[in-house]
Each structure stands twice: as structure tokens, then as C-alpha cells.
Structure 1
């Protein structure tokens, strides 16, 4: 099967696409955005007005003049403008907070829902640790992008315009020219170096995701690591990725230092030239001390945010790089989706029909070929065959984890591709071979079959699955945590939880996908009786490994290499003396040998 790498940056337009994807969230709170921008503009007006007032104060108090009175009004105005600057800035942040947090929430929810809508193929190929890190970095990138694009780049540009206009109107045009040339050189240098540095950031992200993938995978398989004494091997694999991340991080930091030095040099040259010009103007008498202070204050006010603007631009580019992989997830095709005119599945009896169904996980290899059979309403049909014959693929197709390549699947005469996936899966319950539970309580895991069920209904389902008595012996009873993937419970206990969950859902159609093949014989017999009981009056498809568990089936299908080679009841198939009879003989022999071994050890 070809491996699909999700989240690869799709050329240069990805940055603009990432920004465009955030615009609907800003538009939803357009009133707040406008108000925040108004506070921003007022804060910048106050910021630019401060040096102008400061110039008048200095001129009024200069030693060369005889002040008639203390310029109280100017001093109060100076303080008021300082207060206005900080107050409007805080009001801006307070008004915009809901926009930022709601945007992050909406995008995170959109990614989460999209991941659940993706086909099983994607989830079989995904790397959970790296994917979770990509989402984590992506949401952090959104927060930074929204705040700093609106509240740092925009106000800095606004401030540059104000300052340039004042310098042009009040002083020699060369003040404005030198200021603008310095800005152009600074911005050009920042853009050039930042683009060059992005390769290091992307490499860091890739190595970070890879390291997290290896760490999560190793921890999820903790027991396997211990069984084979491979702690050192896992640590070396993890450290190999961290070494690559370290190299990229060092290059990222050294290139950042180069960028900061260059930016500092550009600003220093520009400030020096302007101060020399202002100092010369004072000496010549064309400018006052207040003018010198004004120019200096403007330069400090201008170049400090400009220097920060360089940082903001770098971080915005980093944020866009962080968001690339997350938005790459949203770009994944869902593969299986509802048709625009899809309607809910209407269940009358729950009859299942496969009509000439063919399917392949890969175009080069078909798993099912021309499979046709019926499961009449209220009947039990079993499917048996060697591993890889395509048995479990049948259940995946019924649930529409994949769509059939050829042919069609009908439930009560309705093509399952014409109905909504939600209504389809609501009508089907499954007890799988490998029951994976949520790392929560037993109560939660049973209630998952119908989250709005009452406690009495949940306990009744547990009684029917014969697990209630066991739960009552536990110290925390139904509040007992089952651990990661339910590892604190035995195989039989997990299967009973799965049965209780399915009983609580109470669907008209049941699928038992080798539900007891991983259990010992004694546990299997106990659970098999429970499965037979709940299958009564349900349309049931049983995918079986042990033939002794499906002797009572209304029909048994024998599959080989993706095709049905035999069909009939247990007795009819034994009488045919074909593949089923051969499988039965082998399993009977294995069971006899197992019983003889148990007798030999006195069990």
C-alpha cells in the first residue's frame, strides 16, 4: 500500500490560504474587530502625540528662554497621553480576546471533526504522536497570527505613516527620506533573511513531530518494549530524531542571531544619520532643543516597534509554517462522504444484501471479488475462511469505512451509499475481535453505546452481558478506570464491556467480527452463549475463526481469496466434504489435542 504523507506544504500559496481560512472567523465578530481597530488607532494617535507635547515642554523649559509659568497643561497632557496609550491598548486586547479564542476553538473543532470524517485508510496510516503535535503547534500559530498581524504589523505601519508625515511637514525633507530609506532597507533585509531561515523552522517542525510520534508509539507499546528488553533501542531511536531536531534548532538560532545583528546595524546607521542632521540643525539655529528631542523620541518610538516588527514577521512566518501541517490535515480528502441528497436509512427488518461486491484497498490488489449473499431479517449468517480471505473487510464495507469498488450493498433494499453514514451506523452494532476501550471508567465505556442512557439502563445492559457481578466486586465499582486501551481488564472482561455497550445501543443489525477468537476456550464458551442470546431476533453477521461457535447459523459462507467458494448450513457443508469440512476436521483435531494436554497436566 502506498504511504500518504499528510500536511505537506502545497507550494507558496499555502501561506495566503492559511490567512484566508481565518477571515471567516474575523468576519463573525466584525463588530469587535472594528472596535478593537478603533482602540488601536486611538492608542497610536496618543503614541505619536507624546513626542509633540514633549517638544513643547522642552522648549518651554529650555535654559535659553525665560518661562513665564510652569507649563502645567502640557505636563498634564503628556501624562494623559501616556495613560491613553496604555488604556486603549488594554481595551483593544480585552475586546479582541473573544475573537482570538473563538477562532482557535472553531479551527480546532473543525480539524477534530474532519479527522473523524476521514476514511479508515487515513487512520491506518497516520502517526498519532506527530499529528497531535502538528495540531498543537497549529492552534498556537493561529493565536499568534491573529494577534500580531492585526495589532503589531498594522499599528506599526500606521505609526510609520504618522511619523513620516510629521517629519515631512515640520522639518527638512531629508529627515523623511532618511527615515523611509532606513525602513525599506530594514524590511528588505528582514524579508530576505527570514525566507532563508524558514527551511530550518520547517525542518525543526518535521523532526519535532517525528520525535513525538516515536515517543508516543513507544509508550503505547510499553509492554512490548519490556518483553524484548528494548528500552535502550527505543531511547536510541528517539535520540536519533532529537539529534536532527537539535541541529535544525542550532541553525535556526544562529541564523536568528545573524538577522538580529543585521537589523540592529541598519537601525543604528539610520538613527545616527538622523541625529547628526538634527544636531547640526540645532547648531545652525534652524532647530530647537525641543526639535532634537522630538526627532529622537520619534526615532525611539519608531525603531523600537520596527525592531519588534522584525520579530513579529519572523514569528508570523513561523506560525504559518506551524499551521501548514495542521491545514494539510483539513486538505485531506474524506474519501467516503454522504451524497448531497442522502436520506436517513429506514429500517424495516434489517435485511442485508451484497450484490456482486468487489473491493481493493489498493488498485493493484483486489480483496473481494464478485461477492454476493443475503442475510435475511432476523437470521444469522456466518462467514469463515483463512486469514486474509477478506472476512473482516465485509464488516468495514457494511459500516462504510470504505465504499465498494464494484457492486453494491443494500439494507432493506436501500443502497448504503444513498443514505447518511450517521443513520447507517446507528442501525448497526458490532462486537469486534480486539475491543479497545477508552481510558475512562467502566461506566463511561458501557454508556458509550448510548451516551444519553440512564444509569438504570446502563446497569441493565451490564447485567445482560454478565459483567455486573464482576464490576460490583471492584473497589470503585462502575467508576473503575480501565486504563489505556482497557489494559487493566482481561480479554473476557473487555469483551463483556463491548457486549454491554452493544446491548445498550440495541441496534437491529449485529456484527460479530471474530468476537471470541482471542479468548481462551472456557471464556469463549461463556461469552458465546451471551452472543447467541443477544443475536436472537436480530439480523446478525458473524465473522468467525472457530467453527464450533457458528454451528447454529442459518447459513455459513466459506471464503477463499476474496471469493465465496461454499455456502450452506453446518450439516450441508460437512456433507459436501469440501473446504469447510477440511477446516472442521483440523479444528476438531486441534481441540482434541488441547484436551489431551489438559488431562495430562491434571486440569
Structure 2
């Protein structure tokens, strides 16, 4: 009696202990890693690179002993008439080989990319120790009950048992040796050392209603990317959970019913995949019988089952039809939420962003929807079809056929996942290269005038060409590796089909099966090729969708640094009194921009801010609008701190006329109405008349319906500024901010714009940033700002009396450059 091949119970017990215990430990460690967050894998392994190589070679040696066992068994069975080992023993032998193959693959896979083996690798030591112990116990039992070799077959069998026992002892000795040399628990990994040596700390949660600026914006983003790269699949997919609420139609019962029906159709499609090849076998049997007549019903039933099958069949087409409104709902919800989120991010994000990359990421909003559809309606059905095939072959034919499908499925799926994972980084680089080329192209188009002014057409073409070349190089790597993958996938399936057909032909030849059974097997195996081919393509597509969605996810993970308090109340503007009290601010803590700025803008008065460029004038306006939060001090409007009110009410109470007014590529009416969409046309006309632009608009070819071009390029600088003034007048705010609104205009145009600004500022609190001092000579209060500090305050006449004053020097300097300059009133 050969215990290994004649007693199935012990073989089943060995396989059950190996798989059950190993998967149990794997699950526990994966859950622990998920609960505790991402961990450094190298620190967890404790073995180091050299011990890991030794362990990998040991596992390979164990796997080879099982290969020798299988070869020995096949040779002996072919040479020995009327003898065949128990089926369960053979299956367990193959499963043991498969187990150690998986362990070897997992130990060899040390990539940092998110992959299912990452969770295993962090549990590597405990799992492999368990496998060693289980193998040693069962192999010792097999060795003890193996008879003294009487022939070559039994000699090889005993040698394999002995080899595995010795290998387990050797592995235990390795573990004990290296455990004594294990690094101290106090040893820190490189990232930790770098963090502490540089003094960098994790950004603490910002107080409610305050900005979080302890770390630079780009540093936080890079840290997030690094932690995501080192996480497990569970945590990786969990990070996408913030996007999933926009995919489910929570408030639409009709669409929820569509989803339910689609799932039912999906299940029915799996049933049809079983019935079609089975019915073809019935038709074959009927045709093989003599004097049975024409099997009309059986043939028509087979055709009907075929009509139901596949994505192009009745079931698949109906499911696709019902899913259309669900998909459109998800796309609209996600794309609109993405734009809303980007617009809701703080000013610091928009200062650091590259417009082309953000736009490219927003265009990938549908990639998340595509990912869910592929997972639910393509990847899921493929795996289900394969699982059903294994069970069906076991019930209909033999355990050997199920084993063929199981091994084929594992090898095919693993090769697909592994090679695709290798291709992932190349795909990621390709996508990044495409984004870079898109950004270059976008920059050139958006800065059309600058390109033409500097005759830089050829330079931009070369720059874009270089970016495209980098993209094509990465694309070539991705496409070439795809061809390699297809060849390997075809080889795996063809080998499995060959084994299955030979087994079936053997059984048909000896009368164990019928010709109809052979047809069912061949049809079903051929039918499996389609989902397997789809699995390869779908997994690649799934990876592509994930990569495309990563940047969108990064945008969703961005959080505004300026947030409202939970109890923030709407701003109630009564007079428009603005007070800056000891305000200090810095974009970077190492370089302060404002230091202890104090001033009061009384209702109905004009406050002018003057000084050299970079002194902090524009920053004052930004923090008043609360694009940033002050580091110290406070800003109040009618005794209400701007940090205690809602952002919407704050910004709706303030009108802004910037230095360079950016208009939408739409009509004149749309651009003026943008300040107040509910305004009537008459209100728009009155605002345009007050801004002295109404008559000019009527001269346009289509009047108020004329399109202004991209960023308002069809209009002159003066026309754009007067439209901006009209927009501010239509808004009718209590507080007005004028940011060097006439600095880029000629003297004549400036005179007309200044008249419009006079009307706008009348009766309102106005804060004016002035480059030309002649425009603010009648301001109620002038603040001279230098290096972030208010160095002089007073009226125009008072400041001119200071012989060595900053304002006087600026005034004289401008007067010398333009002796004909005149004073224009701002009241």
C-alpha cells in the first residue's frame, strides 16, 4: 500500500490544512494591515534580501519534488496495467504543487505597486512558517508509512518524501539563524529617518474655520502619492470609495430598479452559457441515433440558447439598454461634482495647478464609471463563468477536467495580472506623457498672443513635438508588451484545451463517455476562451481606468485650506466698515508677506494702497476676500470677523474690478449678467451706461449678443475694463476692490475708465490698489506699503509734505517720467 496514492483522506487533510491555514493567516494579516494603515514591507519581513533568496530557492526545491512526483506517477500508471491512483490523491498532489507555486510567486513579488501579494508579503514570515510546519508533519507521516522501495517508482517516491522532510529541517535552521540576527525594533526605515532629520512633521488637523498651511501644498500631495503607492489592494480600492456615492442613484427609484433588473439579466446570462453547450451535446446524440428522425425541437432550442448568449445576444443587449440611463446619471453626477470640487478648492491650489493637467483629469470623470461597469458586468461574469465551468465539469465529466480548468484559470489569470502589473507603470508613464503634451498644447493655445508677439511658433511646435515623442516612446512599450502577453495567453489556453480533448477522447474511445459528451466539452472549452480573452483585455482596461481615475481621485482628495466654521453665519453688511487689526500673513512661513498691518476703511470712504510691486497690496485684497486666512490678527466687516461668516455671503458683498479682466467666451450680455444672473436686460443696459460702455456695445455687429472671444480677446483693454466695471455696478456691492484697474491702459482710455470708477465708488467703501498715483490724489486715506508693512498713512497733501517720505519720492518719480500727468478724482 502506497499511502500517498491509495489513501485520499490524508491527502485531502494535507491540502485542506495548507490552503485553509494559509488563507486564514493571509486574511488576518491583510485585515490588520488595513486597520493599522500602510506599513513598510521591508521592515516587516526582517529577513533581508539574502535570506529571502535562500527561502525562495527552498520553496522552488519543494515545488520541484512535486513535479518529480507527478512525472513519476504518470510514467508508472502508463506502465502498470489496471492500476491508477485514487482521483482525490492525484488532485491533491497537483493542488500541492499549485500551492507551493503560489507561495514562490508571492515571495518573489516584492513590487511596491498595489497588488494582492503586498498583503501576503507583509504576512510572509508567519505564513511560510506555518507552511513549513504543515509540510513537515504530513511528509513525516507519508515517509513513515511508505514501504521499503521494491522498484524505481517507490524509490523515487520515498526519496521525494525524504527530500521534503530534510528541506523543512533546513528551512527551520535558516529561520533560527536569521532570527538571532534580526534588526532591533528601534531601527527606523529610511523614510522615518529622513522625516525626523529634516524636522518635518505631519500636518495636524487645522482648527475649525482656519487654513492648514503647516506644510507646502505640493509636499502634502507627494506624501499622499507615496502612501498610496505603498498600500495594499484593499486600501487602494478603498481610497476610491469617496467617488462611489456619485455612481449610485440614491434618490431615483426607477434607476435603482434598472440596476436590479440588470443584475438579474446578468445571472440569467450565466445560466444560458451552461445550457447552450449542453443542448449542442443533446443535438449531437440525437443525430447519432439511428431512425430517430430530425431533432427539430432540440436544434431550435439550441439556437434559442445561442440567441440569448453573449453581450450581443438578447440578454446582453437588453442589459446594456437598461444600463444606459444609470451610466449617464453616474457620469453627470461625477463630472459635475468634480468641477464643483475644483471650484471649491482654495486659492493656493489654483496658484499651484497646471490648467491643462486639471482639465485632462476632469475629462477622465467617466473612467470611474467605466471601472464600475467593467467590474460588475465584465470581470464579475468572467470569473463566475470560470467557477461554474469548474463545478460543471466536476459534475458532468470528471475531477480531472475540473482540475484542468482550475490550473488553466490560475495560470491564465496570474500571467495576465502579473504582466499587466509590469505594464502598469509603463501605462502610467504614457498617461503622464500624454498629460504633459496636452498641457504644452493647451499653454500654447491659451497664450496665443504671447506666442505671436515673440514669433515663437517654431519653438512651440518643437516643444510640443518633443512632448509627443516622449508619449509615443511610452506608448510603444505598452503596445509591444501587449503582443507578448497575447502570445503567452494563447499558449496557456491551447495547452489546456489539448489536455482536455485528449482526456475526453480517451474516455470516448473506451466507452466511458459519448461523442455528445466530447462535443459538450469541446464547445464549453472553446466557449471559455471568450471570457478568458475578455479577462485579459478587461483587466488591462481596468488598469487603464484606474490609472486614468488616479488623478481625478487626487483632485477629490485635495481639501480646501480655507473652510467655513460649522456655525458660520451669513455676513450682515450694514455700513461696510472694514478693519484690519494687526494682520500678518505669509504664503511660506520662511518669507512673511504682511506684518502687523492696521487700517480702517470707513463706510463710503476711499482707501488707496500704493507701493512697489511685491509689497503685499494684492495680498491684502486676497485675504479680505478670504482666499487665504491670516496667520495673526483679524479682519472684520461691520464688527464681524471674516472667518466667522460664510464664504458665499462674504464674497457676494464685495465687488472686484481686477487689473486684467478675464471674460468668458460668450456674449456681452452673458458676461455682464454673470454678476447677477437674475438681472433683467434693462438692468444690464443701465449698468453698461453707468460704465460708459453701452454706446460702444451697440456698435458691435450683434450688439449685446456679440461674442467676446476666448478670455475677451476680441475686445480692447479699455472695453474689457469697462465691462468689468459694468459687472461690478450690476452686482451693487457695499464694498468695492479696485486692483490697479487702469494701470495697463493709455492716458485717454484711463480718463474714461476713471470716470466709470468714480460712479462705481460713489457711496461705497472702496479699497483701491494704484500704480499711477495721479488716480488716487483725492482718496480719503492713502497707505504706503513696503515689504509688507504700512510705512506711511495720510491724504495726498499730507504725504507730499514729508520731504523724505516714500510717497513723495514715488510721486516725484512718476511726475518726472510723465510731466503732463494730471490728477483725476476718485470721488
* Correspondence for 1:290: 516
* Correspondence for 2:301: 77
Q: Deviation at 1:552? A: 1.6
Q: Does residue 4 of the first structure (1) align with residue 186 of the second (2)?
A: no
* Aligned with residue 202 of structure 1, among 402, 413, 428: 428
Q: Does residue 148 of the first structure (1) align with residue 374 of the second (2)?
A: yes
Please give the alpha-carbon distance, in whole angstroms, between the structure 2 residues aligned to 1:415 and 1:458.
33
Asked if structure 2 preserves the Cα contact closer than 8 Å seen for 1:357 and 1:370, the reply is: yes
Please give the alpha-carbon distance, in whole angstroms, between the structure 2 residues aligned to 1:386 and 1:39.
71
* Aligned with residue 245 of structure 1, among 448, 471, 480: 471
Give runs of aligned pairs for residues 520-539 of structure 1, distance below 5 A.
520-539=746-765
* Aligned with residue 642 of structure 2, among 416, 429, 437: 416
Please give the alpha-carbon distance, in whole angstroms, between the structure 1 residues aligned to 2:241 and 2:652.
37
Query: Unpaired segments of 5 or more residues in structure 1?
Result: 596-603
Give runs of aligned pairs for residues 506-521 of structure 1, distance below 5 A.
506-521=732-747
Deviations 1:87-110, CA, capped at 9 Å, x for gaps: 221222222222222222222122
Asked if structure 1 preserves the Cα contact closer than 8 Å seen for 2:281 and 2:520, the reply is: yes
* Aligned with residue 26 of structure 1, among 214, 232, 248: 248
* Correspondence for 2:806: 579
Give runs of aligned pairs for residues 213-232 of structure 1, distance below 5 A.
213-232=439-458
Give runs of aligned pairs for residues 452-491 of structure 1, distance below 5 A.
452-491=678-717
Deviations 1:29-62, CA, capped at 9 Å, x for gaps: 5443332111100111112101111111110011
Q: Does residue 133 of the first structure (1) align with residue 360 of the second (2)?
A: yes
Q: Deviation at 1:498? A: 0.2
Asked if structure 1 preserves the Cα contact closer than 8 Å seen for 2:259 and 2:323, the reply is: yes
* Aligned with residue 123 of structure 1, among 342, 350, 355: 350
* Correspondence for 1:599: none
TM normalised by structure 2 equals 0.70
TM normalised by structure 1 equals 0.95
Deviations 1:385-434, CA, capped at 9 Å, x for gaps: 11111111111111111111111100000000111110000000011111
Please give the alpha-carbon distance, in whole angstroms, between the structure 2 residues aligned to 1:251 and 1:511.
54
Q: Deviation at 1:75? A: 2.0
Asked if structure 1 preserves the Cα contact closer than 8 Å seen for 2:683 and 2:730, the reply is: yes
* Correspondence for 1:190: 416
Please give the alpha-carbon distance, in whole angstroms, between the structure 2 residues aligned to 1:21 and 1:289.
54
Please give the alpha-carbon distance, in whole angstroms, between the structure 1 residues aligned to 2:731 and 2:240.
43
Please give the alpha-carbon distance, in whole angstroms, between the structure 2 residues aligned to 1:232 and 1:81.
62
Q: Deviation at 1:593? A: 6.4
Q: Deviation at 1:22? A: 4.4
Asked if structure 1 preserves the Cα contact closer than 8 Å seen for 2:338 and 2:365, the reply is: no
* Correspondence for 1:598: none
Please give the alpha-carbon distance, in whole angstroms, between the structure 2 residues aligned to 1:377 and 1:321.
54
* Alignment CA distance shift 1:212-1:3 (3 Å): farther
Q: Deviation at 1:156? A: 1.4
Please give the alpha-carbon distance, in whole angstroms, between the structure 2 residues aligned to 1:367 and 1:225.
33
Q: Deviation at 1:500? A: 0.5
Asked if structure 2 preserves the Cα contact closer than 8 Å seen for 1:61 and 1:67, the reply is: no
Q: How many residue pairs align between the two structures? A: 592
Deviations 1:335-364, CA, capped at 9 Å, x for gaps: 111111111101111110001001111111
Q: Does residue 312 of the first structure (1) align with residue 538 of the second (2)?
A: yes
Please give the alpha-carbon distance, in whole angstroms, between the structure 2 residues aligned to 1:200 and 1:54.
44
* Alignment CA distance shift 1:233-1:348 (3 Å): same
* Aligned with residue 99 of structure 1, among 322, 326, 334: 326
Q: In structure 2, the residue corresponding to 1:149 is in which secondary structure?
A: helix
* Correspondence for 1:165: 391
* Aligned with residue 623 of structure 2, among 397, 403, 415: 397
Q: Deviation at 1:23? A: 3.6
Asked if structure 2 preserves the Cα contact closer than 8 Å seen for 1:100 and 1:146, the reply is: no
Q: Does residue 567 of the first structure (1) align with residue 793 of the second (2)?
A: yes
Asked if structure 2 preserves the Cα contact closer than 8 Å seen for 1:22 and 1:103, the reply is: no
Query: Unpaired segments of 5 or more residues in structure 2?
Result: 1-214, 823-827
Q: In structure 2, the residue corresponding to 1:26 is in which secondary structure?
A: coil
Considering Cα pairs closer than 8 Å and 6+ residues apart, tell me whether 1 or 2 has the greater RCO: 1
Q: Deviation at 1:159? A: 1.5
Q: In structure 2, the residue corresponding to 1:395 is in which secondary structure?
A: helix
Q: Does residue 260 of the first structure (1) align with residue 481 of the second (2)?
A: no
* Alignment CA distance shift 1:531-1:458 (3 Å): same
Please give the alpha-carbon distance, in whole angstroms, between the structure 2 residues aligned to 1:227 and 1:305.
57
* Correspondence for 2:277: 51
Please give the alpha-carbon distance, in whole angstroms, between the structure 2 residues aligned to 1:68 and 1:270.
35
Q: In structure 2, the residue corresponding to 1:271 is in which secondary structure?
A: helix
Q: Deviation at 1:27? A: 6.6
* Aligned with residue 178 of structure 1, among 404, 412, 424: 404
Please give the alpha-carbon distance, in whole angstroms, between the structure 1 residues aligned to 2:352 and 2:771.
26
* Correspondence for 2:559: 333
Asked if structure 2 preserves the Cα contact closer than 8 Å seen for 1:60 and 1:67, the reply is: no
Please give the alpha-carbon distance, in whole angstroms, between the structure 1 residues aligned to 2:752 and 2:470.
53
* Aligned with residue 585 of structure 2, among 350, 355, 359: 359
Please give the alpha-carbon distance, in whole angstroms, between the structure 2 residues aligned to 1:473 and 1:223.
25
Please give the alpha-carbon distance, in whole angstroms, between the structure 1 residues aligned to 2:353 and 2:421.
30
* Alignment CA distance shift 1:18-1:319 (3 Å): farther
